[in-house]
Amino acid sequence: MTFSTRLLHSTMALAVLAAAAPAHAGAMEDLVAAAQKEGELTVIALPHDWCGYGNVIEGFKAKYGLKVNELNVDAASADELEAIRANKDNKGPQAPDVIDVGLAFGPQAQKEGLLQPYKVQSWDEIPADVKDADGNWYAGYYGVMSFGVNKDLVKNTPADWSDLTKPEYANAVALTGDPRASNQAILAVMSAGVSKGAAPGTDSGEKGLEVMAELNKAGNFVPVTGKSGTIAQGQTPIVVAWDYNLLAWRDSLNGNPPMDIVIPASASLAGVYVQGISAFAPHPAAAKLWMEYLYSDEGQTGWLKGYCHPARFNAMSAAGKIPAEVMAKLPPAEGYARAVFPTVEQQEANKAAVTGGWDKVVGANVQ
Q: Tens digit of pLDDT for each residue in 25-37?
A: 578 999 999 999 9
Q: Of 147, 266, 169, which is closest to residue 221 (Cα–Cα)?
A: 169
Q: Which residues of the chain have pLDDT under 70?
A: 1-25, 332-335
Q: Cβ(326)–Cβ(301) under 8 Å?
A: yes
User: How many domains, in total, are found in the chain?
Assistant: 2
Task: Identify whether residues 235 and 339 lie together within a single domain.
Answer: yes
Task: Identify whether residues 280 and 343 lie together within a single domain.
Answer: no
Task: Identify whether residues 99 and 231 lie together within a single domain.
Answer: no
Alpha-carbon 138 to chain mean position: 12
Q: Cβ(278)–Cβ(141) under 8 Å?
A: no
Whether 299 maps to a domain, the answer reads: yes
Q: Which domain holds residue 276?
A: 14-141+272-329
**Farthest CA pair distance, the chain:** 66
Task: Identify whether residues 227 and 252 lie together within a single domain.
Answer: yes
The CATH number of the domain holding residue 118 is 3.40.190.10
Task: Identify whether residues 154 and 136 lie together within a single domain.
Answer: no
> According to the model, what pLDDT value does residue 129 have?
87
Task: Identify whether residues 236 and 340 lie together within a single domain.
Answer: yes
Task: Identify whether residues 175 and 257 lie together within a single domain.
Answer: yes
DSSP for residue 91: -
Angle at 170 between CA 165 and CA 172, to 5 degrees: 95
Q: Tens digit of pLDDT for each residue in 188-214?
A: 999 999 999 999 999 999 999 999 999
Task: Identify whether residues 136 and 149 lie together within a single domain.
Answer: no
Q: Cβ(174)–Cβ(236) under 8 Å?
A: yes
What 14-19 contacts at long range (C-beta under 8 Å, 24+ apart), as own/partner pairs, is 16/116, 16/117, 19/116, 19/117, 19/118, 19/288
Task: Identify whether residues 255 and 299 lie together within a single domain.
Answer: no
> According to the model, what pLDDT value does residue 8 have?
26
Task: Identify whether residues 111 and 253 lie together within a single domain.
Answer: no
> According to the model, what pLDDT value does residue 339 have?
85
Task: Identify whether residues 38 and 86 lie together within a single domain.
Answer: yes
